[in-house]
Structure 1
Amino acid sequence: MLAAPVAVATAAALLTAVPPASAAGPVRIHDIQGAGHVSPLERATVSAVPGVVTALTGNGFWMQDPRPDRDDATSEGVFVYTRTRPSAVVGDSVRVDGRVSEFRPGGARSAGLTRTEIDAAATVVDAHGTPLPAPAVLGPGGRRAPASVVKDGRGDVEKGGRFDPRRNGLDFYESLEGMRVRIQDAVAAGPSRYGELPVLPANGAGAGTRTARGGVLLRDGDPNPERVILDDALAPLPGMNVGDRLPGAGDGVLDYGYGDFKLLLTATPRRADGGLPREATRPARPGELAVATAGLDGLDPDSPPERFRALADDIVRGLRSPDLVAVSGLRDNSGEADDGTVAADQTVAELITAISEAGGPGYDWRSVNPRDNADGGERGTNGRVGFLFRTDRGLAFVDRPSPAEPMADGPPPGGPDPAVTPVRAVRRDGAAGLTLSPGRIAPGDAAWGASRKPLAGEVTWQGRRIIVIAAQWFGQAGEDQPLFGRFQPPSRPSEWRRDAQAKVVAGFVRSIRNIDGDAGVIVAGDLNGGEFSAPVRTLAKEGGLADLPAGLKPSERYTAVSDGNSQLLDHILLSPSLKRRHEFDVVHRNAEFADRAGDRDPAVVRIGLSGR
C-alpha cells in the first residue's frame, strides 16, 4: 500500500493488461475483482474505472459499479487507496486511474487473505449526489451464506482452486468484498468486544444450532459461516450482549482485515435490549462438595476495583461460594511491570477481601510461584493457576511440606524450589497421596514450555482424601491460522501443544489410580478445547476420567463466545468414584456480556459424598 503513485496507463498498456474478454471496452470493477481471491489484473495499470463512492476512510474510499454484471461470483465493489484523505465524497460518481494491488493486513507473512485495491494515481469526479447502488441483502430473501462450510478445498486459496460462493463461506464473502451489504433485523450472536460485534441476519433465521440463550453453537465441522462480524471503523457500534437486536436495516461496506471479513456499518444502528440475565447456580447441600472453575483474565492489583467486585460476585452469587475454586489467569503483584516480581499474594488478598465484602465466606489460597517469565503470557505478568478454598463446610487443604508462610506461595526456608520440583503420587495410609501439596505436574516437561504448569493439590472432604488438579492449557491464539484465512484447512499447531499437555496430565492421573483405583481425582480449568477436541478426549480416555460438560445438552455446552461462536473451552473431569452422584452446571455470567468480569463462564460440580 505504500508504493509510489503510478502513471495512468496508455490504451496499448490496457490491451496487454486486460483479459481479451474485457479488452474491447473499459475496465470495470468486476473485471478487477474477478471470480477468485486474487485479482486477475493484479499489478496492472488501469484507467477511468467507473464507480459511485459508497464510504470514506482516512486514506481512501470504497466505490461500487452501478452497472453490475450478471455474475454473483464477481464483486462490484473495491477499495481505492488514496494515501491521504480523499477529496471525493459519498455519492460522487468517479473515474479512477491507478494500479491494481492486493494488500495483506498484518503483513506479507500473515495467513490472512488480501484485500483487492486500486492504488489511485488520479480520481476524476463526474457528478455529485449520485444514488448509491442498492446493497446486497444478507440472509433469507437475499444472499445467503453457506450453512456450515468455510472452504472445501485444500492449500493456499490465493493460488487457485475451485471458487464456489454458493458452497464455500470463504468464497461467498470474497464475492461481496468492497460492496454495499445490508443486514436486516440482526441479532447479536456474541457480545461487543474491541470495536466488533458478531451478529446473525434476520433474527438468526436459518442459522446453525442455537444456544439456549440466543447464541450459535460451534460444532465439530460447523464453524457457522453465516455469522457476520460488524466493525466500528466507520461508525460507532452500541454495546451489545448476546440476544440484543438491531431492528431494521443496517448498511455498510464489506471489508477484510486480520483474519476475517467484516461489515463496516456507515451509520450507528439502534439497539434493542434482549434482556439476557446473568445466571446463578444453586447452593451446595450438606454433604455435597462443590468444586468450580474461574478464569480471572489477567487480574492483578492494578485492576479496577469494579473488576474485583464483579469477580467476587461471580463466586459468591453466581457460584454460591463453592468449597474449592480452580483459578486461572491470576497475575503477580506488579502486573505488567517486568521487574522480577513473581509473588501474587497481594492480588489474592484483594480478591479474598472483595469476596468477603460481597457477603461470602473466608477463603484461603494455595499456589506455586513460577520462575520469572518462565510460564508464557505477557512478559512480567507471571500468570499462574491456583486454588481458592473455604474450610467451614468440611474441606481441608493438606499442605506438604507445611509452608512457613502459606499466603506467600514460596518454598519453605532452605527447601527445594517448588516451581521446578515435580509432584508425584505416592501411597499414604493405603490410599493415593502427593509428595507435594500444592505441587506442579512435570514442570520440566517440554509440553509446558512457555505455558502455565498444572497444579495438583491434596484435600480432604469430611475426612475423605481427594486429589484436585488445576489446569490452564496452551491457548488457541497466536500461531494458529485464521478460520477465514488463505490456508485451508487452517493449521492448528496449538492443538498439538495441548495434546502433549493432555498426555502429561493423563499420565499423572494414571499414576494416582495405579496406587488406588478408587481414588477421587478432579481435573478442572481452562483446557482451551471443546468436548470433540483431541486433547480433551485424550485426557478423558487415557486418564480414565469423565468430561462433565460433554454430558450437557448441546444448547448449554459452552463457556466462551469467540467471534460469535459459542464454544466449550473450560472443563471439569471426574474419576469414576466421584462421578457416581454429581450435578454439573455452567453458569453463564461473563462470556455473553459486553460488561464482563472475564472472558469465560465459570462452571461448578456438586458431588454427593455423604454416607460413603
Structure 2
Amino acid sequence: MTGKRVFMAAVVAVLAGGAVVAPPAAATGLRIHDIQKPAHLSPLNGQSVTDVPGVVTALTSTGFWFEDPQRDNNPATSEGLFVRTGTQPTVATGDAVTVTGAVQEFRPNNIEANLTTTQIVNPAIRVVSSGNPLPVTVIGHDRRPPKSVIKEGTNGDVETSGTFDPAKNGLDFWESLEGMRLRLDDPVAVGPTSPFGEIPVLARDGAGAGERTRRGGIVVRPTDLNPERIMLDPTIAATPKVNVGDHFAGPVIGVLDYNFNNFKLVVTASPVRVADGPAKEITRASRRDELAIATLNSENLSATNPQADFDKLAAVIVHNLRSPDLINVEELQDNSGGADDGTVADDQTVARLTAAISAAGGPAYQWRAVFPQDKADGAWAEGNIRVGFLFRTDRGLNFVDRPGADATTPTAVTNVGGKPQLTLSPGRIDPNNPAFINNRKPLVGEFTWCGKRVFVIANHWISKGGVASRYPAEGASLASAWDVDQPLFGRYQPPALITENQRVAQATIVADFVRQIQAIDPDAYVVVAGDLNDFPWSPPLQALTSRTGMKDLPAHLPLPERYTYVLDGNSQVLDHILLSGSMFARPHDFDVVHVNSEFVEQTSDHDPTLVRVDMH
C-alpha cells in the first residue's frame, strides 16, 4: 500500500470539520461570477453579499449548490456556489433563489494542502420561483479540460501566485467550474471504485485524452499527469462498483466539489454500470529453461487474516502467475498482524500461505526472510511487515543458506575464488542506515539455477504516502511527523515530493551493494525487485540504474502497458524488476499481470510482475 487515503482518513479522524481562511472587509449586491472571479480565492472572502441570484441545482444535508443561468461569458469564472445552511435546507432543486450571507473560503478537513471551496455561510434565503430548468455545462463539448498540464507558472501557493489560466492548467480549469452542474457524456472508468465510492472517469470515452492503456485506463508520463480525469463522488447518490474500462448507461450529471486533494463530481443520480471492461490476466507458463521471478504485494497478510484471503492470494500465484520459481513478496506481516504484542515471527502466516498454494494445485514453496525488530519497519508498525522470498525447488532453483542473519546485522559481499559470495543469506542490506529508519529493509538472497549463481535483492521502499519519520535533505535532522508528497491537485504547485530524498538514499545503498558484487564479477547475475514506490524516470530509479547499469524492465514496455498500480485513475509504475546487464542480455520476457489495480475485487492494490529469463 502507498498509504495515500489511509493516511488522509487518519487525519480526518483527528481533525474535525475544516479551516476558514481569514476574512477581510465588506461588499454587497453581486452575482455568483463576481464572487468567484478568475482565481482560487474569492476577492470577497469574509465580506457580506446581498440577494445573490441563482437556481438550486443539488442539495445535501448541510446545504445546497446554486448556479446563475445568466453567465458572464468568461469561462475563467465559475457560475456556481455552495450555500452552507448547517442543517437540511428547505429549498428544492429548481428553485430560483436569492441568497444573502457571508463569503467564506472553506478548506476541507483542515488539511493544509487542500484547495479551498468558496461558500456562502449564515445565509438568508428567499425563494423567487420554483420548477426552473437546471443549467448544465457539458464537459468535452462546452468546456474541454487541458490534457497534460496540471499547473504551470506557479512556484508555491496557488492562492497567492496571481496566475490563473483554465485554458492551459487543469487545476485552474476545474476551479473555474467549482460548484457548477456538469454533464459527462459516455464516461469511461479509468480506475476502480474506491472504498469511499469514488470513481475516476474520462468524459466522451476518453476522446482527446492523453495516452491510454490497452485496457481502458490512462497512463502517467513524466510531463503528463492527466488533468482531464475527474472523480465521481457518492455524497448525494450512490455509485456502482466498476472496474477500469467499464462504462455507464447514459450521461453522468453532478455538481463539482473539492475534497481530499481532488476535484469531485458529486453525482445527483446513481450511474448505472455497463460492465464491458477487460478480464483479469493470466500469464503464460514458463518453459523448461526459463527462470521465472515475480513480485507480489500481499497487502498486510498475516496469520490473523480470514482463510479467504489466503485462498485468493494462492489462486493468483497458481492460476494467474502460473507458479513462478521465485516470488519477491512484500507486506507479509508477523503472526499476530496488527496486535501490539511484540510478535515478529512469521512462520504461521507463511504456513497458511504455502498450504493454500498447495491446496490450489501449486507446488511446495519454501520461504526465506529475516525477522525485523518490533515496530521498527514503519507503515503498520505493529504488523512488522517485511519482504521475503517464496520459492520452489522442483524446477532447478535452490537457495544458498548462510545462516546467522538478524534484524540489525548487515550481510556483506566477499570474494571467494574470484566469485562474489554473501556472508549471510538471506541477509539485510545496511539495516542500520538512517535511510531505513521506520522503513522496510532490503533483503538479499543467494540462489543457484541449474548451477548458475543468481543474487536477488527484495525491496519495499518508502511510500509516497510517507511514514512516521523521513530521511531528510542533506544537513537536516530527522523529523518525527507524518510526511507525504504533496498532492497533484493541491494548493502547492509544483507539488513537493517530500519522500523522494529517502528513496534516493535507499536506491543509492542498494546500488552500492550491487556494485560490490559487480566489482568481483562484472557479469554476475543480479536481480533487484519489489515495490520501489516510484516511477521509472524518477531520481530514485535513476540513482539505481545509473550506478549499476541495471535495466528497469517496466521502462522497456510499450507505453500503453507501462503500469502496475492505479491511483485516482492514474495508471503508473511503482513495482519494478531490474536485471543486471548480463542477465538482461539473455532472452527474457517481462509481464505485468493485471489482476488487482484495475479491479474492485483484488488481493492487493498492486499488480504482480513477472520476468522469465532463458538461462540455458
SS at match of 2:540: helix
Aligned equivalents of 1:565, 1:174: Cα separation in 2: 20
Question: Is 2:235 the counterpart of 1:233?
Answer: yes
1:113-512 alignment, distance < 5 Å: 113-133=115-135, 135-139=136-140, 141-154=141-154, 155-194=156-195, 195-401=197-403, 418-478=406-466, 479-512=484-517
Aligned equivalents of 2:385, 2:82: Cα separation in 1: 42
Question: In 2, are the aligned partners of 1:153 and 1:161 still within 8 Å (CA)?
Answer: no
CA distances 1:5-53 after superposition (whole Å, capped 9, x unpaired): 9xxxxxxx9xx733xxxx7xx2111111111000110000122222222
Q: 1:555 aligns with which of 555, 560, 567?
A: 560
Question: In 2, are the aligned partners of 1:335 and 1:380 still within 8 Å (CA)?
Answer: yes
SS at match of 2:463: coil
SS at match of 2:58: strand
Deviation at 1:288, TM superposition (A): 1.3
Residues 213, 4 of structure 1: CA spacing in aligned structure 2 closer, same or farther, 3 A cutoff?
Answer: closer
Aligned equivalents of 1:562, 1:267: Cα separation in 2: 25
One-letter code aligned to 2:253: D
Residues 237, 3 of structure 1: CA spacing in aligned structure 2 closer, same or farther, 3 A cutoff?
Answer: closer
Question: In 2, are the aligned partners of 1:466 and 1:521 still within 8 Å (CA)?
Answer: yes
Match of 1:411 in 2: none
Question: In 1, are the aligned partners of 2:147 and 2:209 still within 8 Å (CA)?
Answer: yes
Match of 1:543 in 2: 548
Deviation at 1:460, TM superposition (A): 0.9
SS at match of 2:591: strand
Question: In 1, are the aligned partners of 2:17 and 2:108 still within 8 Å (CA)?
Answer: no
Mind listing any 5+ residue stretches in structure 2 that lack a counterpart? 1-15, 467-483
Deviation at 1:500, TM superposition (A): 0.9
Q: Which has the larger radius of gyration?
A: 1
Deviation at 1:457, TM superposition (A): 0.5
Q: 1:592 aligns with which of 578, 590, 598?
A: 598
Match of 2:53 in 1: 50
Normalised TM-score (structure 2): 0.91
Mind listing any 5+ residue stretches in structure 1 that lack a counterpart? 6-12, 402-414
Aligned equivalents of 2:148, 2:365: Cα separation in 1: 46
CA distances 1:436-463 after superposition (whole Å, capped 9, x unpaired): 1111110011111111111001111112
Aligned equivalents of 2:296, 2:446: Cα separation in 1: 19
Farther off after superposition, 313-322 or 177-186? 313-322
One-letter code aligned to 2:372: P
Deviation at 1:2, TM superposition (A): 7.4
Question: In 2, are the aligned partners of 1:425 and 1:511 still within 8 Å (CA)?
Answer: yes
> What's the Cα RMSD here?
1.8
Deviation at 1:129, TM superposition (A): 2.3
Question: In 1, are the aligned partners of 2:216 and 2:277 still within 8 Å (CA)?
Answer: no
Normalised TM-score (structure 1): 0.92
Question: In 1, are the aligned partners of 2:55 and 2:95 still within 8 Å (CA)?
Answer: yes
Aligned equivalents of 2:167, 2:299: Cα separation in 1: 40
SS at match of 2:375: coil
CA distances 1:121-153 after superposition (whole Å, capped 9, x unpaired): 3222233322222x11111x2210011111112
Aligned equivalents of 1:576, 1:347: Cα separation in 2: 36
Residues 3, 192 of structure 1: CA spacing in aligned structure 2 closer, same or farther, 3 A cutoff?
Answer: closer
CA distances 1:537-573 after superposition (whole Å, capped 9, x unpaired): 2111102211111111111111111111111111111
Question: In 2, are the aligned partners of 1:189 and 1:214 still within 8 Å (CA)?
Answer: yes
Match of 2:109 in 1: 106
Aligned equivalents of 1:434, 1:213: Cα separation in 2: 42
SS at match of 1:296: strand
Match of 1:407 in 2: none
Deviation at 1:252, TM superposition (A): 0.2
Residues 459, 106 of structure 1: CA spacing in aligned structure 2 closer, same or farther, 3 A cutoff?
Answer: same
Question: Is 2:100 the counterpart of 1:97?
Answer: yes
Aligned equivalents of 1:323, 1:353: Cα separation in 2: 17
Deviation at 1:505, TM superposition (A): 0.3
Question: In 1, are the aligned partners of 2:19 and 2:106 still within 8 Å (CA)?
Answer: no
Deviation at 1:199, TM superposition (A): 0.7
SS at match of 2:144: coil
Number of residue pairs matched by the alignment: 578
SS at match of 2:355: helix
Aligned equivalents of 1:453, 1:332: Cα separation in 2: 15
SS at match of 1:493: coil
Percent of aligned pairs with the same residue? 55
Aligned equivalents of 1:372, 1:102: Cα separation in 2: 44
One-letter code aligned to 2:303: P
Question: Is 2:20 the counterpart of 1:17?
Answer: no
